[in-house]
Each structure stands twice: as C-alpha cells, then as structure tokens.
Amino acid sequence: MVTPPDFTLEVVLYGLLVLGVFGFLWFYYDRRNRTLYDHERRKITFHCIRCDCLYTEKAGIDTAKCPQCGHPNTRLKF
C-alpha cells in the first residue's frame, strides 16, 4: 500500500503567503486612503457673528464668508 505524501509544510507556507499578501494590500490601501482623503475630512468650524450660523470649511483657511449672509468670519477656537 502506498502512503499519501505529507503536504503540511506546503499548506502552512501557502497560508502564510496568502496572509502576507492580504496584510500588504490592507496596509497599502489604508495608507493611500488616509493620504488622499485626510485633507477632505479635516474641517474648520466657523461661527457667523451677524446671523448666528455655524458652518464648516476645509482646513487651512483662517477666514471664510458665511454661506447665508456673506459676512467674513474668523475660525471658531475652542
């Protein structure tokens, strides 16, 4: 009677290879999405002193016009 070959080492190496590929893809896409969309996610809050409106704009702006009345306002600091 012929004994079947033992493939446990190959199966373990293949499993580790597959986990490594998935881990690399997860790391790559996580970094890519963070750098691409981080600028869009960051917002600065403004409060209009004329019409009492709260609104947000993209980061990097110190003054912005109110969307309701057009009055320029400085950023809201906490």
pLDDT digits (tens, 9 = 90+) for 14-40: 999 999 999 999 999 999 988 888 877
3-state secondary structure of 57: strand
The answer on pLDDT for 2 being more than 80 is: no
Give the pLDDT of residue 4. 75
Share of the chain above pLDDT 90, in %: 38
- Quote the pLDDT of residue 60: 78
**DSSP H or E stretch at residue 11:** helix 8-41
* Single-letter code of the amino acid located at 7: F
